[in-house]
Amino acid sequence: MSKKWVYLFSEGDASMRDLLGGKGAGVAEMTRSGVPVPPGFTITTEACNTYYENNKQFPDGLWDQVLEAMKDVEAKTSKKFGDPSNPLLVSVRSGAKFSMPGMMDTVLNLGLNPETLAGLANLTDNPRFAADAYRRFVQLFGKIVLGVDGEKFEHVLNEAKGDTRQDTDLSTEELTDITEKFKQIIKQDAGVDFPTDPYEQLRYAIGAVFSSWMGRRAIDYRRLNKIADNLGTGVNVQSMVFGNMGNDSATGVAFSRNPSTGDPALYGEYLVNAQGEDVVAGVRTPRPISELKAEMGTVYDQFATIAKQLEAHYKDVQDMEFTIEKGKLWMLQTRTGKRTGGAAVKIAVDLVKEGVIDEATAVNRVEPAALDQLLHPTIAAAEKEAARKAGKFLTTGLPASPGAATGTVVFDPDEAEQLAKEGYKVILVRTETAPEDFHGMVAAQAILTARGGMTSHAAVVARGMGKPCVAGAGELKIDYKAGEFNVNGKTIKHGDAISLDGGTGEVFAGSLDTSEPTLTGDFATFMSWADKFRKLSVRANADTPHDAQVAHSFGAQGIGLCRTEHMFFEGDRIDAVREMIVADTLEERRAALAKIEPLQQGDFEGLFQEMDGLPVTIRTLDPPLHEFLPHGDEEIAALANKMGIAPSKLRSKIESLREANPMLGFRGCRLGIIYPEITEMQARAIFKAAAACKARGVHIHPEVMIPLVGDLSELKVQADLVRKVASEVMEETGQQLEYMVGTMIELPRAALTANKIAEVAEFFSFGTNDLTQTTFGMSRDDAGRFLPLYVERKLLKDDPFQVLDQDGVGQLVQLGTERGRSTRPNLKVGICGEHGGEPSSVMFCHKVGLNYVSCSPYRVPIARLAAAQAALGDAARDK
């Protein structure tokens, strides 16, 4: 006995996806639950795999089983394959475990030849329909099975239709003529006569489906979507039903709920007198499914009932294909419906309310990354389409930070700030951005750059602020002097309006309508369920009281990273900071620091106030000092003037601060070690703010964090200093302050010696941006040259600055945590950095037992959901 290669639809069910493929399992399940499905059978994915092991021969027994199954289909349909008096026609459809769009098209109406064609015309008394069916069969078989270029058929068809007619307007004679031309093309290109024996047609078609599994398109698709090659595809052979028999026939596709809004109503389209993919292929303009209600009420009701039934059965939204033949409904496919982030949340919440699924299932139903769409303004698809038609599309850059924005074009950060103060909405357009542009970025609605990658300054800062950004739009030619940019032959001037979508990278001329994110009741409900399950805390990286407020509103449980230097750029402060940097003597430096201290204290008070009761981690000064200094001649002269020193002196100071490799240079704790007065000032500002807030009844939990520590001794020096200042402030104010001193682990040496570092550090926070940089030995600022190509050529699976490299950097995180806790068992450990809001990285942090992740405010909900799913994954495994 040979193996069972063939399953009748009535023999399979939904659980057999591996063996039957998604489509086969779906039609089997529908058949089993009494939904009208045209009879047929599925050839297993195992048969496909054996076909390849067998040097592309059908496995033993397969063909006999196919013949046997065809008899069953003949009996069920009361038709006979190849019999002119009552011909059975079939479709041959591929179907792997995972849907693979475009892998192999479906052959329809197989079994037609000149005799069965005549029979079909007679039997249906509809010669035109028969001719149309034959035309489609020869076209599909020629293209898909015999490999003839489909364009050639389209060309003949379009010639026949002319400019004004549709396919339904073609007469029987015209269709017959077209089919003859198709056959000639096939004869010429494939070198074969069109096969007339239906069983030979079937054999060929099955072989073609098997072969398509290893076709270029399929292989590429699997690489891209990380699907294994050894799954194989199923082949579904199914008796045809005809949506092209006249105006009482139709074909369509529909979702059981609206996949873009989640609205619980049928959503879809249909075409009267059409077959197969006509709806999707845009042969004619389809009509919304709601109109079917008026046109064929009974069928519509029946379909609505089946949709509900299938949805209840699968406990999720279904994406269905159907055909109506002379007023009778047939279901051809059902699968889980893809949906937008907004729809996913609404549907999950609705299904719980309807009692279909429980909360844990709901939480697992939404992709964390999909929440991003809920957290930013958007431009509706129709609005974009209209803009494209009106010729307003400009270019596409990298989707660096999601969200849509419109505003007038400004090139200068100062002007951006000024205009924003006056109430204008501006978009800052730069070749690239640098730290000194920060105030302009803050003021702008969005940022557009011509150069730079996903981790460029513009991209990272914009994501941190939750501000839309399109980066590296290489087609932009910016002319700062002329105050304009050119792109694809269009010129946009300073002051012109543009719109962009940072989620897709599209840029348009003019003001497109954007809609604000609505953090609706459903969204809040959904997040509260996620919070019930997660173990990991989620904090935010926030540098200003405003960021903190946004973070809080998105559910952050504290601040995991406040980068104090970002405060340095606001308003006139930068002047005092620059004075501090260029100071020659300790006295001068102290004088400048004294100006900064009250400003920093004010900021910290704002943060403590906003995060009342929650921990706030403040990092001491980290970046290389030259980042704060001006670089252009004019700017240098202006600053020198302000400071009352000679421009040449300022210039030589700036020169002296230049470093060959600033990322590994005079930065991090090295600054505070060489200039202790900086750390001292910052600590003083922190503790005075804490004391002042405490006096007002605010619950403060300051955590002072020392950056870029490589050796315990470095941390010790800085921690001692911080503690000394804390004691002084407590003495001065009479307030008892609870606080912690900890460190960032962002150098491999720190991770390796974490057991020693934990002798002093009361907490760890893995700075995974720098840790990735130092582990890979890849400068974040320079990786744009090669890293995108690495990812494209698959040398690396992902950009390690976006997705935590679990194999390498992750090991240091795990090992550092273990070693730290070997010294201090209750050591609190978190991560801050871009990875804190990236779902797979968050799941990793859960797995290795971190206490919290910290991410940009706008990613807090994403991290909350990812953490919940990680915990639910554990729960499922423990069962």
Rule CB under 6 A: which residues touch ligand ADP?
Answer: 38, 91, 93, 106, 108, 238, 240-241, 251, 276-277, 321, 323, 332-333
Q: Which does 693 bind (CB under 5 to 8 A by kind): Mg ion, ligand ADP, none?
A: none
In whole angstroms, the minimum distance from the beta carbon of 290 to ligand ADP comes to: 20
Residue 483 backbone dihedrals phi, psi, to 5 degrees: 65, 50
Given a contact cutoff of 8 angstroms between Cβ atoms, the answer to whether 536 and 517 are in contact is no
833 contacts Mg ion (rule: CB under 5 A): no
Of 106 and 537, nearer to ligand ADP (C-beta) is 106
Question: Distance (Å, rounded) from C-alpha 619 to C-alpha 833?
Answer: 13
Residue 825: CB partners within 8 Å, gap ≥ 6?
A: none
Contact 179, 145 (CB under 8 A): no
Decide whether 91 or 753 has the Cβ nearer to ligand ADP. Answer: 91
The residue number whose beta carbon is nearest to Mg ion equals 770
The answer to whether the beta carbons of residues 82 and 203 sit under 8 Å apart is: no
Residue 241 interface partner, choices Mg ion, ligand ADP, none, CB cut-off 5-8 Å depending on type: ligand ADP
Q: Give the position of tokens 């690489």.
A: 223
Please list, in sequence order, all residues whose beta carbon lies within 8 angstroms of the beta carbon of residue 38, skipping any fewer than 6 positions away. 77, 238, 239, 240, 241, 330, 332
CB of 234 to ligand ADP, least distance (A): 11
Q: Which residues contact 412 (CB under 8 A, 6 or more apart)?
A: 440, 480
- 861, 555 in Cβ contact below 8 A? yes
- Number of separate helices (H) and strands (E) present in the chain: 34, 31
As measured in angstroms, the least distance from the Cβ of 54 to ligand ADP is 25
The entry of Mg ion, ligand ADP, none near residue 446 (CB within 5 to 8 angstroms by kind) is: none
162: left (phi over 0), alpha (psi -120 to 50) or beta: left
Among 82, 767, 837, 861, binds Mg ion (CB under 5 A): 767
Smallest gap from Cβ 368 to Mg ion, in A, equals 25
Q: What are the catalytic residues?
A: 457, 832
Contact call for residues 463 and 486 (beta carbons, < 8 A): no
- Is 65 a binding residue for Mg ion by CB under 5 A? The answer is no
Nearest by Cα to 286 from 317, 338, 322: 322
Q: Taking CB within 5 to 8 Å according to partner kind, which of Mg ion, ligand ADP, none is near residue 360?
A: none
Closer CB to Mg ion, 372 or 746, in the complex: 746
CB of 26 to ligand ADP, least distance (A): 10
Alpha helices in 405-508 (DSSP H): 413-421, 438-443, 457-465
Question: Which CA distances in Å does 437 have to 361, 582, 657?
Answer: 45, 20, 20
CB-nearer residue toward ligand ADP: 244 or 854: 244
**Residue 770 touches which member of ligand ADP, Mg ion, none, C-beta under 5-8 Å by kind:** Mg ion
Rounded CA gap, 790 and 453, in Å?
13
| 817 interface partner picked from ligand ADP, Mg ion, none, CB below 5 to 8 A per type | none
C-alpha 846/C-alpha 435 separation (Å) is: 33
Among 265-273, 320-328, 728-736, 747-755, which window interacts with Mg ion (CB under 5 A)? Answer: 320-328
Task: Return the range that interacts with Mg ion (CB under 5 A); candidates 196-204, 334-342, 422-430, 769-777.
Answer: 769-777
Considering CB distances under 5 to 8 angstroms, the limit depending on partner class, which of Mg ion, ligand ADP, none binds residue 106?
ligand ADP
Both tokens of residue 63? 């063909």
Specify the residue, 108 or 548, whose C-beta has the smaller distance to ligand ADP. Answer: 108
Output the smallest distance, CB 214 to ligand ADP, in A.
Answer: 18
- What is the C-alpha to C-alpha distance for residues 802 and 833, in angstroms, rounded to an integer? 9
* Residue 436 binds which of ligand ADP, Mg ion, none (CB < 5-8 A, kind-dependent): none
Q: Which does 767 bind (CB under 5 to 8 A by kind): Mg ion, ligand ADP, none?
A: Mg ion
Whichever of 499 and 743 has its CB closer to Mg ion, that residue is: 743
Stretch that binds Mg ion, among 190-198, 321-329, 402-410, 536-544 (CB under 5 A): 321-329
Q: What is the DSSP letter of 654?
A: H
Does 91 engage in binding with Mg ion (CB under 5 A)? no
Count of beta carbons in the 10 Å neighbourhood of residue 394: 24
Stretch that binds Mg ion, among 7-15, 455-463, 693-701, 746-754 (CB under 5 A): 746-754
CB of 335 vs ligand ADP, minimal distance in Å = 9
Specify the stretch interacting with Mg ion by CB under 5 A; choose among 75-83, 336-344, 579-587, 761-769: 761-769
> Which of ligand ADP, Mg ion, none has residue 610 at its interface (CB below 5 to 8 Å by kind)?
none
At 797, the amino acid letter reads K
Among 543, 770, 834, 838, which residue interacts with Mg ion (rule: CB under 5 A)?
Answer: 770
Q: How many residues lie near Mg ion (CB under 5 A)? A: 5
543 or 579: CB nearest Mg ion: 543
Contact, 87 vs 201, CB < 8 A?
no
Piece of 553-561, 674-682, 760-768, 801-809 that binds Mg ion (CB under 5 A): 760-768
The answer to whether residue 94 forms part of the interface with Mg ion (CB under 5 A) is: no
Contacts of 561 (CB under 8 A, 6+ apart): 539, 541, 542, 617, 619, 705, 765, 832, 854
Contact partner, 684, from Mg ion, ligand ADP, none, Cβ < 5-8 Å per class: none
* Of residues 13 and 277, the one with the C-beta less far from ligand ADP: 277
**Helix axes of 114-124 and 127-140: crossing angle, nearest 10 degrees:** 140
Stretch that binds Mg ion, among 212-220, 331-339, 556-564, 573-581 (CB under 5 A): 331-339
252 binds Mg ion (CB under 5 A): no
Work out whether 333 is an interface residue with Mg ion (CB under 5 A). Answer: yes
Contact predicate 288/361, CB 8 Å: no
Task: Convert residues 446-475 into a mask of x (bound to Mg ion by CB under 5 A) and - (unbound).
Answer: ------------------------------
Taking the CB of residue 715, how many other CB atoms lie within 10 A of it? 24
Window contacting Mg ion (CB under 5 A); options: 328-336, 549-557, 695-703, 854-862: 328-336
Q: Is 325 in the site for Mg ion (CB under 5 A)?
A: no
CA distance 626 to 619: 19
Q: Which is nearer to ligand ADP, 240 or 761 (CB)?
A: 240
* Among the listed residues 797, 803, 857, the one whose alpha carbon sits nearest the alpha carbon of residue 834: 803
Spatial distance between the Cα atoms of 289 and 285, rounded to a whole number of angstroms: 13
Q: How many CA atoms lie within 13 A of 166 on its CB side?
A: 11
Quick one: 571 exposed, middle or buried, by C-beta within 10 A (0-12, 13-18, 19+)? exposed
Beta strands per DSSP E along 350-397: 393-396
> Which residue number, 320 or 862, has a Cβ lying nearer to ligand ADP?
320
Radius of gyration of the chain measured on its C-alpha atoms: 33
- Closest distance of CB 276 from Mg ion, Å: 9
Triad 323, 93, 33: Cα angle to 5°: 55
Taking the complex as a whole, the smallest distance from the CB of residue 468 to Mg ion amounts, in Å, to 25
Residues forming the site for Mg ion (CB under 5 A): 321, 333, 746, 767, 770
